[in-house]
Amino acid sequence: MNTENFAISVEGYEIVNHILTLGYASMAAALLFFIMTKNSCLPKYRMSSVISVVVMTSALLLLYTQKLSWTSAYAFTGDGYTLKAGADLFTNGYRYLNWLIDVPMLLIQILFVAEITGSDRARYMTRFSISGCLMIITGYIGQFYEPGRLNESLFLWGLWGLISTAFFIYVLVMIKQVILHGKEHMEGSPQRLFGAILPLFYISWWLYPLAYAAPILMNLGISYEFTIVGQQVIYTVADISSKIIYGVMLTVTASMLSEKSTLQTA
Ligand code: RET
């Protein structure tokens, strides 16, 4: 392997190092938020906060590992960084394994605030878990073939990416149904806040396939450095929006709903 092709500037190296640190530090801060606000909601909504705690813990560990993977893969060369000979390569593989836990959790979490219960809840839980996991597993297989990797194959990378996208579209259709159903039970500000989760979801979840596709830029003549730095920035923005902002919006909706029903029954 010619390591010169994998050289990055001091700035590029540091941006990734800092953004990965921002990632796990935000998960730690949000972990405390979800623990401390859990009791502000009625018991029927609390599972949403519990799930956020699970998601934060797993993301915190993953993003920390991801940062270690970054710092141990590169060596300082005097005027920049390059892949260290003999070290483990930097890999996004850990992320996919973290999503395997977090994606079903994030999808199931909203069912509690949307007040989907009984057999409907069980049905959504099964569908979300199966389609979410298949989306991640097929994407995980695909990323082994991404442009720039040793066993790069544009065909296999594209094919597995498309299969994964089919499961993703199914998830998007179901999440829209869940949000519309949840809104029917709400009014006023909780309804508006809960409704705003749909655009947040669309934007933040599409960032993941965008980051998956980023390495194709190298085949279009864009530098390794720009591609890899861009990819890590996109992943971190996506992680903070799809896990933390989403979780906070659900918790705030649930606490507004709880406050309303406590006032009504008082
Ligand atoms: C992959 C492969 C390429 C095609 C598609 C993908 C979708 C990934 C998504 C991931 C969401 C992850 C979340 C993690 C939170 O912890 C697998 C990149 C469509 C949507 C929300």
**CATH code of residue 210:** 1.20.1070.10
Give the closest residue to 249 by CA, choosing from 177, 164, 184, 191: 191
Looking at residue 109, its pLDDT comes to: 97
Q: Whose CA is nearest to atom 14 of ligand 1?
A: 99
| Ligand 1 pocket: which of 100, 109, 135 to mutate (most atoms within 8 A of CB) | 135
Looking at residue 88, its pLDDT comes to: 74
Find the 182 Cα to ligand 1 centroid distance in Å: 24
Pocket of ligand 1 (CB under 6 A): 99, 102-103, 106, 135-136, 139, 142, 161, 164-165, 168, 205, 208-209, 212, 242-243
pLDDT of 99 strictly over 70: yes
Q: Tens digits of per-residue pLDDT, 33-72?
A: 999 999 999 999 999 999 999 999 999 999 999 999 999 9
Alpha-carbon torsion (184, 186, 189, 194), positive or negative: negative
Q: Tell me what percent of the residues of the chain surpass a pLDDT of 90.
A: 80
Question: In ligand 1, which atom is closest to the CA atom of 142?
Answer: 2
Find the 168 Cα to ligand 1 centroid distance in Å: 8
Phi-psi label, residue 172: left if phi above 0, alpha if psi -120 to 50, beta otherwise? alpha
Q: Whose CA is nearest to atom 10 of ligand 1?
A: 208
Mean of the per-residue pLDDT values of the chain:
93
Task: Please say whether the beta carbons of 167 and 135 come within 8 A.
Answer: yes
Per the structure, the count of domains in the chain is 1
Task: Please say whether the beta carbons of 183 and 196 come within 8 A.
Answer: no
Task: Please say whether the beta carbons of 75 and 6 come within 8 A.
Answer: no
Question: In ligand 1, which atom is closest to the CA atom of 213?
Answer: 3
Phi, psi (deg, nearest 5) at residue 47: -60, -30
Find the 82 Cα to ligand 1 centroid distance in Å: 28
Q: What is the pTM of this model?
A: 0.93
* Listed range (84-98, 129-143, 170-184, 200-214) with the worst mean pLDDT: 84-98
Q: Whose CA is nearest to atom 20 of ligand 1?
A: 205
pLDDT band at 154 (very low <50, low <70, confident <90, very high): very high
Q: Whose CA is nearest to atom 2 of ligand 1?
A: 139
Task: Please say whether the beta carbons of 256 and 193 come within 8 A.
Answer: yes
Find the 228 Cα to ligand 1 centroid distance in Å: 17
Looking at residue 2, its pLDDT comes to: 52
Average pLDDT over residues 260-264: 77
Report residue 26 as tokens: 């935000």
pLDDT band at 265 (very low <50, low <70, confident <90, very high): low
pLDDT band at 1 (very low <50, low <70, confident <90, very high): very low
Q: Tens digits of per-residue pLDDT, 165-181?
A: 999 999 999 999 999 99
Domain containing 15 equals 3-265
pLDDT band at 266 (very low <50, low <70, confident <90, very high): low
| Ligand 1 pocket: which of 164, 203, 207, 241 to mutate (most atoms within 8 A of CB) | 164
Question: In ligand 1, which atom is closest to the CA atom of 98?
Answer: 16
**Whole-number Cα distances in Å, 193 to 61, 66, 110, 157, 190:** 30, 33, 13, 38, 5
Find the 50 Cα to ligand 1 centroid distance in Å: 22
Q: Tens digits of per-residue pLDDT, 178-234?
A: 999 999 999 999 999 999 999 999 999 999 999 999 999 988 989 989 999 999 999
Find the 4 Cα to ligand 1 centroid distance in Å: 31
